[in-house]
Chains A and B, each alone.
Chain A
Amino acid sequence: MIFDGIQCYHDRLRSGLQTVRAEVLACLERIHRYESYGAFLEVYAEEALAKADALDAQGFGGDLAPLTGVVVGVKDNICYKNHRLTAGSHILEGFVSLYSATVVERLEEAGAVIIGRLNCDEFAMGSSNENSAFGPVRNPLDPDRVPGGSSGGSAAAVAFGGCHLSLGTDTGGSVRQPASYCGLVGIKPTYGRVSRHGIVAFGSSFDQVGVFGEHLEDAVTLLSCISGADDHDATCTASPGEPLNTSSSNGPYRLGYSPEWLENPALSPVWRQRMQEAMKTWEEAGHTLVPCSVQGLECAIPVYYILATAEASSNLSRYAGMHYGYRSPEAHSLETTLKKSRSQGFGPEVQRRILLGTFVLSEGYYDAYYAKAQKVRRQLKDRFDQVFESCDAFVLPTTAGSAFRLGEKSSDPLAMYLEDQFTVLANLTGLPALSIPFGPDTNGMPLGLQFMGPSFGEAALFEITGRLQALVPNIQPL
């Protein structure tokens, strides 16, 4: 554990035992030490120190804003006014944001110190952070392994202490999977909890901003600060300022799980064994385990990749080499401006997904793929809504195993897509989900345990997760 939590930190600030400046300097020192891990694309050292000094000069009497002096890193697909943004892509190299994302404005209002821009898979497409145009990110727990993706930089930065907390985005698991691989808490809120204004769009019906932290309470505090309705995003419907850290959900709890998934041969035997032990402990503590049949897990990946690539093919049509972004030097006509700029600017995985998305939307294939996937998506959503009629939370793996080695899956797109089989469910259904550390695996790397909850049921979901985590000592952070 590097950071002992916001509450202890604020106590130290109040009692004069330390300054925000000292905390920022410590983060900068670790960022320097872990520079070769590739997590930061840009470090705002001077700005962060200036903000720290301003906070220190104000003093810490009275009530502190919830993120006062808390050092936060931001994924490189979230706009921050007058700062560069690339979404991990050459096509946006040199781009400067004209405005800040709503989540960034809210971070600043809550007193956070924004320390830098964090590496990610290009346009958030990937599960290993090997698809960034600016190089891969390495896992701080083992540099030969991936940190997960697409928010790999956001996970690694918190794991090595470059920042206390970070923002990522989660379209199919891009916060929870890297959180699991780096031994952190990662939360994807309900679709509509957090504004997407100022987030580089990938799959608009899936994308949500998520948070990383070493501790559940801190991650929840960060999420509370960025949540709530926003005039700039009509799909964001949650009440602003709704407290997510208090709930009257005292238990005992009804915990759903899928017996078939526990038998999934791809699942790490260590995860299975830990899960069986945890279930026993929870039952002994008075909670009820409810076996739920959730058929259609095998459909989740095809449905997700059909719909998300279709949405991506539409969203990414804006990168045309006209108003912003890269324009090929060989652009001499409308067609060459579009085709050459896009083909030279986008990396191979992004092009693969644009092509797949264009295909499933094209005449003659639309009904067989796109429309069909939308129907199966409805069935999955209905099934999970039913699950939450008889359960307070649903427990499942975050990933089948722990972090894999760099290069291990990069030549096999399908194997990489299957990384997301347990995480895409929350994105397909729009439901909130979080991953907490649940390890280690036999190789010493952390595993992740995932909790899903009903729509806009975050407060109870976090309460349940916290109480269940406390009952099982081996799911504490490593």
Chain B
Amino acid sequence: MKVNLETLERITHLARLEWDPDRADAMLEDMNRFLEYARVLDQAPTEGVAPLVYMNENGLPPREDRVIAETNHEEALMNAPSKDSDYFRVPKVLKKSGG
């Protein structure tokens, strides 16, 4: 299975990375070399094998459900790239409507 430019452009959008045509060929080559190498998995018989999803298969220890407020307002805003006194500031996401 090989990735083509069109697929790469689609997953670049899905990953919310910017499409850069100048770097696309190199990225495509790296990905396809890896996927070619990964073809060894096709030879591994896995019928009836349950996927290993979590490492703690014996269950996780429950804990008391209680509120622990560790981050206050000021701290939450401390690392914001843009903020005012109360809120994170972000670029406009809604276009002006007619009404």
Contact = CB atoms under 8 A, between A and B. Distances in A.
Interface of A: 94-96, 98-99, 191-192, 205, 229, 231, 234-235, 237, 296, 298-299, 301-303, 305-306, 313, 317, 320-327, 331-340, 342-343, 346, 351-352, 354-356, 358-359, 362, 365, 368-369, 371-379, 381, 413-414, 417, 430
A305 B41 CA distance: 12
Contacts of B81: 321-322, 324-327
A237 B63 CA distance: 12
Contact of B56 (A235, A322, A332, A375): A235
Contacts of B18: 339-340, 342-343
B80 A336 contact: no
Given A317-B16, A375-B51, A302 B11 contact: no
Nearest to A359: B11
Contact of B51 (A192, A378, A414): A378
Given A320-B16, A373-B41, 10 more contacts: A191-B55, A205-B53, A231-B63, A317-B16, A334-B91, A339-B18, A343-B18, A355-B15, A376-B49, A414-B30
A447 B76 CA distance: 46
Q: Is the interface of B mostly helix, strand, loop or mixed?
A: loop
Contacts of B86: none
Interface in B1-24: 1, 3, 7-8, 10-12, 14-18, 20
A96 to B, nearest CB: 6
A96 B80 CA distance: 11
A379 B17 contact: no
Nearest to A337: B91
Contacts of B30: 352, 413-414
Contacts of A362: 10-11, 14
A334 B93 contact: yes
B70 A99 contact: yes
Nearest to A379: B49
Interface of B: 1, 3, 7-8, 10-12, 14-18, 20, 27, 30-31, 33-34, 37-38, 40-41, 44, 46, 49-56, 60-61, 63, 70-71, 75-76, 78-82, 88, 90-93
A366 to B, nearest CB: 11
B31 A378 contact: no
A354 B8 CA distance: 12
Given A343-B20, A377-B52, A355 B8 contact: yes
9 contacts: A234-B63, A322-B90, A339-B18, A342-B15, A359-B11, A374-B52, A375-B52, A376-B44, A414-B34
Contact of B91 (A229, A317, A333): A333
A301 B41 CA distance: 10
Contact of A192 (B37, B53, B56, B70): B56
Contact of B82 (A205, A327, A335): A327
Nearest to A302: B38
A229 B60 CA distance: 11
